[in-house]
Structures are given as C-alpha cells and as structure tokens.
Amino acid sequence: MSSLYSIKDLVTKKRHLHCAAQKVLNNGGCGGIDGVEVEEFRENYTKNMSALYRQLTEDRYEPQPVLRTYISKGNGEQRPLGIPVIKDRIAQQAVKQILEIHFEEIFCDCSYGFRPNRSTEDAIKKVEEYKEQGYNWVLDTDVKSYFDTIDHEILMELIAEEVSDGWILDIIRSWLTIGVMTEKGKEETTEGTPQGGVISPLLANIYLHHFDKKMTRRGYKIVRFADDFIIMAKSKAKAERALEVTRQIIENELNLRLHPRKTVITNFNDGFKFLEFKFYNCDYKKPKESSIKSFKDKVRKKTKRNRSIGVAVMIDELNLIIRGWGNSFLLGNIKGLYKKLDGWIRMRVRCFIEGKKAKGQNYRLPNKILRDLGLESLLTDVL
C-alpha cells in the first residue's frame, strides 16, 4: 500500500523551495537550454522563485528539455549527461528532499551509492567484513547503460507502490519524458533517466531496490553502489547460482541487461575490481589502474609549464587534487604507491617552476623547498 499521499503542500512550501534552491545554486554547474547560469538566476532570485512557486501551486509547471552534453569516462568512451535548466533542478531537489526521507526508511542496507551518510568507504568495509566471514567467491557485475535504459513504466509502478500522490507522479513522469536537446534538435526520451538530473540518482536507487529486496531476502551477500555491484558467496557453485538469480531479476523483471564484458565470477586470489579498488592476493587492494591514470592526468593538467599562473596558485590547486584523491584510498595498501606518486608529483612541480621538461635537472629544488612552498604529500599529509 502506498505510504506517501497529499505531499504537494510539503513540496511547495516556500521555505522548502528556498532550501532546495540554495542547495542547487550552491552546487553550481552550467545552465540548461535556456542559457540561464547560476549567477544570473541569483540576480533575479525573488522573481524566479515566485514564478516557480506559482507554476507548481497552480499546476502550470512544465519542465524544459534537458541539455545533452558529454563527459569522458577515462577509457576513450564518453558518458552522456542531461543538464536541466536551473528552475527544473530546483523543482527536482524539492521533490527529492521529500521522497528521500521516506525511501531511506525502506532501502536495503546493501545499497551505498547516492545515499546520505553512506560512502564508498562503507561499501569497501562491508566487502572486507563478508570476506572475513568466509565469502571468498565474487560475482562481479554491473548493468549495461543503466541510467539510459531504465524502463519508465516499471519505474513509475515501483514509485507508485510507495507514492499515491498523483501530482508528484505526474511531475516525475514529465521529467522522464520531456526529451533532450542536442545539436540536431530535440530528441524524445522513451526510456532512461538523464545523468545530471538532481533526482536521477534517487530514481535509480528506487528502481534497483526491487533487486536489493529480492536478493537480500534470499540471503545473498550483495554490496551495491548504483549499478555497480558484487555478490559474495562461499563457493563457486553458489556464486554461479547467484548469477542465475541476478540475471532473472535484472533482465526478466527489470528489463535491463547485465554488462557482458563486466560480468565475471572470480575470487580474492584471482582478483577483481570494485569501486576504484583492485582486490587481489587475498588481503591486498590498491587503486585501479584507471584511477591512477585519471589522477596523474589531473596533475599533469595543473602542472603544465605553459600555464600563466603563479606557483602558489598552482600548488593550491594541486593540493586539492592530492587530498581529494588520496583520501579516497586510505583503506588500500597504498604506502608504496603514494611514495612513488609523491616523487612523480614533485618532479612535475619542479618542471613547472623551472620551465624545463621532465628530463631536466630536477635536483636544484630540494624537497624541503617544495614543502616550504606548501606542496602537500600523499604519504605524509594524507596517509
């Protein structure tokens, strides 16, 4: 039976809309197809919010198509993003804040992605906990093109199991079907939820909650982060059975597809990759090669010798990258890797300061000088 009804008044409270707006505006990001950027929206905040309030309360709200753009996935492929206009991002945030409170009460513990007070670190700790309990075999998989292939009708049915407010259901459907604007014009969206939409992560978790419930009720040890998940078992045979059950639910009930190249049955001895970590040799784990490459690419970009900025500014920018990436892998066996990367980073900084190529004589700037300039270390400042 649906649990949420008559929640329009909660979503459209002016204080609630204001809180949603502040969150969206503080997150920044580019504008949508209307060309309105965050600062421009702020300049006309009262007028913009009054218009949105009237549209929602008078049932005149209609979203605009999302702007299609692409970001690199780091493997030569590109991931499509759909950027809503700021007004629609605020409306989505307002709805999300209400729905999330309810769905957080029913979501399964095995789900870690896009949820408040949960992180990749929590997911990794759960993997290690299951391993200590003897679950050494792993079904490692994810859903192919998950966000782009979510079935709208199934999603709406799953939401309607908990939400009976037709006003909310109609608005969510409008976000799903409004279409995307590309260089060739508007394209219809008959499936999927756009990556880039404020409410999309919550909708994605609602969709796979059906899978979480069925798997946990059968006793499977699952750790899921969005569409990337592993199922742990005590034998290869049980892992193979888990794959059969997973395929039945994912493909037959949710109309999705498991990624053929990323679906494998393995164990801790042979190794596997999950959430930017590579697990192998039983108790050893380190960042995936693609994560290290992405980190080094960011460092290279900040330390290009032709950048017309001061050393202090460059180091400040670099330190943010060092801390952010370094803190992501504190659960790994990374002392040796961090030491090696520290040396490489210092080489890049010396080349920036001296204006020389990497093969130049880097001994002229001792480590102490770089420390005095404020350069942080993965090994001593992060670890």
Per the CB < 8 A criterion, the answer to whether 125 and 331 are in contact is yes
Other Cβ atoms within 10 Å of 101 Cβ, number = 12
Each residue's pLDDT, cut to its tens digit, for the chain (383 residues) gives 456 778 999 999 999 999 999 999 999 988 999 999 999 999 999 999 999 999 999 999 999 999 988 877 655 667 778 899 999 999 999 999 999 999 999 999 999 999 999 988 899 999 999 999 999 999 999 899 999 999 999 999 999 999 999 999 999 999 999 999 888 888 889 999 988 889 999 999 999 999 999 999 999 999 999 999 999 999 999 999 999 999 999 999 999 999 998 899 999 988 898 988 888 765 667 888 888 988 999 999 999 988 888 899 999 999 999 998 888 888 777 888 898 899 999 999 998 888 765 554 545 678 888 888 899 999 887 76
d(C-alpha 378, C-alpha 256), whole Å: 40
What tokens appear for 79 in the block? 């991931």
Partners of 373 in beta bridges? none
d(C-alpha 312, C-alpha 196), whole Å: 33
Per the CB < 8 A criterion, the answer to whether 161 and 4 are in contact is no
Per the CB < 8 A criterion, the answer to whether 138 and 231 are in contact is yes
Helix then strand then coil, in percent of the chain rounded to 5, is 50, 15, 35
User: What is the pTM assigned to this prediction?
Assistant: 0.81
Per the CB < 8 A criterion, the answer to whether 2 and 162 are in contact is yes
Q: In the chain, what are the domain boundaries?
A: 7-267, 288-373
What tokens appear for 244 in the block? 């059969």
Quote the crossing angle between the two packed helices 236-247 and 200-217, to the nearest 10°. Answer: 130
Q: Alpha helix locations (H) across 107-247?
A: 120-132, 146-149, 152-160, 166-177, 200-217, 236-247
Per the CB < 8 A criterion, the answer to whether 192 and 79 are in contact is no
* Side chain identity at residue 253, one-letter code: E
